Amino acid sequence: MKKYILNVLAIVTLLGGVSISQAQPTLSVNRQQARPWTYWWWMGNAVNEKDITQLLEQFSKAGLGGVHIIPIYGVKGSEKEFIPFLSERWLAVFAHTVREGKRLGMGVDLTTGTGWPFGGPGVSTETAAKAWKVDNGKLTTVLTKQQVKRPAPGGQGLVIDYFSKSAIEQYVKRFDSTLAHLNEKPRAVYNDSYEVFGANWTANFLTEFKNRRGYDLNSQLTAFLDTNQTENSILVHQDYHQTLSELLHDGFTKGWADWAHTHRYQVRNQAHGSPGNLIDLYTKADIPETESFGSSRFPIPGLRVDENYEVDRFGTPNPLAMKFASSAANLAGKPLVSSETGTWLANHFQVSLSQVKPQVDELFTAGINHVFYHGIPYSPPAETWPGWLFYASTNYGPTSHFWPHLPLLNRYIERCQTRLQASKPDNDVLVYFPIHDLWATRAKSAGGIHQLEVHHVEQWLLPQPFGQLCEQLLQRGYSFDYVSDNLLKSLTVNKQSIRSTSGATYPVILVPRSTYLPEQSLRELERLARQGARIVFDGKLPEQAPGFQDHTARSAEVKRLGNTVRQLKSVTVSPDVFGTLNQLGVRVEPWAAEGLAFIRKRQTDTTQYFITNLNNRFRQNWITLSASGRVSRYNPLTNQTDWLPIRKGQSGKNEVFLQLEPGQSYFVNVSPGKAPDATSQKTVADRSTGKPIALQNPWRVQFLRGRPALTASKTIPSPASWTTLADSAGYFSGTARYSTTFDLPADKSGSQSYHLDLGDVREVAEVRLNGQPLGTAWCIPFRLSIPANRLKPTGNQLEVDVTNLSANYMRLYDRQNPGWKKFYDINIVDIRYKPFDATRWDALPSGLLGPVTLTPVSAASGQ
């Protein structure tokens, strides 16, 4: 894949003799990877070369960079087209997919199996997932008997033992004799999140445990079975979890990655959900992948969440969980961090692009730069609507109601990821992850083990002092990564700067308040401190070593080492962590406390911020950035760059004027050079001035295209949902035109610029002003800019074509044609995993709801 050079300048604006183009770094990226990719479920592997080519051409034209093939269960009535996984015919269509992807500039990834987790017909009872039980006073091994979930034809069978190296070695042999012989290779192979339910053992666990921990687990069976959190029980369970974590890392994760690299495949791994140390597991992947499941409850005005989504059952996305993947990538030098994105944002047929964008923005602030949509079901182009569907939303494919407008989201993501992939991390704080304190608590997950899920951080992350401290760091505006016991060993120090093997540097290591710390980790901290690394302990030093064997002696060593470390010049045991960080000069972005989320990165000599407003507290203000220089703003929605006004604040530091409405996001770049005087600044970012002007003339509503066909039109006094116009309109899904005329107030001029605010839009609005396209509003806030001289004093004509969701038509279709739900396995379910039934839905508001207003804008300037 060739690289392309993206010049971010859309306009040239002079500022003190320096153009916008000179303030922007030149970005060299792989465009295929900068574009969003998608999961592509091959339903029953009922695929063929002709349809694959047609679909890939559609995907490429829409702006997708690649597909991730996941073979799954099939469609009833299409059994003759089913292709057994890894058969000669399957290999032929896969090879065709890779060739066509290459022709179109698209990549192809592949799940190492069908459905999830790994498993299938070649898995014997010896290599299948296992659990422990007590028999005659001894720990013994039993099978979990878990089968692969959602398997494709030819993929049925037992799930493998993820704690056994021999199990993964045996499992991949199936691919050695099939996939590995193809010249057409996937870019990466993939492992889904750990959903090996009840698996907490392996056949040789007792031997591994004794070799690694130094004692026989059966000798401490009473403590192991104790659920009352006695001291011995805690220490034995720490050893148990430590052993599981090491086996998962050394056996499955490393074994699978080594196999993939032998065949020149990259590795994409979702480590979350497992009982291992996520940081270490993610570092074994070429592309660590996190997950955004469900919708965050952002208090953005107008942002809808599905009231039927069960938060207690499924949880919500959390950036602190996502940072485990990005931290591993930053420390280990992995340029891409991916995410499964948009799973169950809302019920089928009810997801809008305006709901997707905030979730993507949150991922960007957590360090993700390689978005994978979840996803697109393979559906033959000739299949009638709604086509073949995966059981879980969201459908990003050609049968989706937002497919015609998906290129808008894709371009936004590509512009963002171009900048995020071309820049380096610029975080200041390395936060030590005291996983042994977590292992000292009683597990809430199945099988009696701690499974570190991204969905339910309230069960393991947020209750810990580590999680609470990281929440405060995030809210106060600090940039940070996590570091594990294992990665401490690889850190070096140069002139007080802590350096990872990837070259990432950090001014300080922060150790959260914790009880347990391995003595080897404390020795590593001592080593770093003696070389000049600044280390801050929150409140106190840990006083105990984890684990049962020789616990008293090892804890005494921890105390001795702690007393030594405490005396070192660069070490602080602080009762006020944030005061200490301030004294050490650690950078902070105080405006984050106003509800703004961000990530700070470096691109050559430019500091790059991606800032998004996922809250409802900030609108506009003067803010102080930790970086200084010339400040420009890039809008990835419009591909435009402008200057931000600067002034001297009361503290003597430069302040930047930032206008960022809830739902908006920008890149703010700080480039070298003296900040211009406020008086010399010319054209800069627009700033709203004056009161909004309401458009008060009647509106005409006309149905243009959609299902069922409607021809009626109606005049209404103000914008309103078209579902209120007639009973039949409550079943309409498609596009309707809202049109009106208006005059400018006598004291307003068409020679200045305006913002056109459409208010509440359900869901996408294409706007024309005086017969000319103005733009498309698809995300919150639904606002477009009207350049100077586009408005007339009188007789302005405004046309707004609004496209809604397909949910309203599905209310009718599901009653008339219930046979579309014809899928094997789980078939199709609603957001509560109940059988899907749209016939009971109420009509969803659709169209232009308003209010529609004009607001004069002028160039903001320093003061």
Q: What is the pLDDT of residues 153-193, one digit of tens each?
A: 989 999 999 999 999 999 999 999 999 999 999 999 999 99
Percent of the chain with pLDDT over 90: 90
The answer to whether 338 touches 366, Cβ cutoff 8 Å, is: no
Q: Which spans in 510-550 are helix H?
A: 519-530
Residue 590 makes CB contacts below 8 A (sequence gap 6+) with 476, 477, 623, 624
**Whole-angstrom distance, CA of residue 104 vs CA of residue 493:** 46
Q: Report whether pLDDT(3) > 70.
A: no
And the tokens for 737?
A: 């035109």
CB 184 within 8 A of CB 95: yes
Mean pLDDT of 81-89: 97
Mean pLDDT of all residues in 28-38: 93
- What mean pLDDT comes out for the span 80-93? 97
Helix (H) or strand (E) holding 171: helix 165-176
What's the pLDDT at 653? 86
Query: Which token pair is 159?
Result: 């799930």
pLDDT of residue 683: 42
Pick from 210-214, 348-352, 365-369, 627-631: least confident:
627-631
Which phi and psi (to 5°) does residue 55 adopt? -70, -45
Question: For domain 36-119+162-194+252-425, is the CATH number 3.90.400.10?
Answer: no
**Structure confidence at residue 750 (pLDDT):** 85
- Mean pLDDT within 543-552: 98
- Structure confidence at residue 280 (pLDDT): 98
pLDDT above 60: residue 369 = yes
Looking at domain 4-25+604-684, its CATH class is mainly beta
Give the CB-side neighbour count of residue 74, counting CA atoms within 13 A: 19
Instruction: Give the pLDDT band (50/70/90) at residue 712.
Output: confident
Half-sphere exposure of 265 (CA within 13 A, CB side): 29
Cα distance between residue 581 and residue 508, in whole Å: 8
Confidence of residue 673 (pLDDT cuts 50, 70, 90): confident
pLDDT of 423 strictly over 70: yes
CB half-sphere exposure, 14, CA atoms < 13 A: 3
Average pLDDT, integer, range 708-721: 93
- pTM for this model (two decimals): 0.96
Q: What is the pLDDT of residue 29?
A: 78
For the segment(s) 693-805+844-859, the CATH number from 3.40.50.150, 1.10.3210.10, 3.40.630.10, 2.60.120.260 is 2.60.120.260
Report the C-alpha gap between 634 and 609 in whole angstroms: 10
Tokens of 20: 């916008």
Least confident span in 222-236, 351-365, 446-460, 507-521? 446-460
Instruction: Using pLDDT thresholds of 50, 70 and 90, give the confidence band for residue 26.
Output: low
Mean pLDDT of the chain: 94
For residues 805 and 778, what is the distance between their CA atoms, to the nearest angstrom? 12
Query: Does the structure show a pLDDT above 70 at 351?
Result: yes
Q: Which residues contact 211 (CB under 8 A, 6 or more apart)?
A: none
Confidence label for 860 from pLDDT (cuts 50, 70 and 90): low
Would you state the pLDDT for residue 542? Answer: 96
Q: SS3 sequence, 24-61?
A: CCCEEECHHHHCCEEEEEEECCCCCHHHHHHHHHHHHH
Q: Output the CA–CA distances (angstroms, integers) from residue 834 to 76, 150, 316, 346, in the order listed.
A: 20, 17, 20, 14
Which pLDDT band, with edges at 50, 70 and 90, does 16 fall under?
Answer: very low
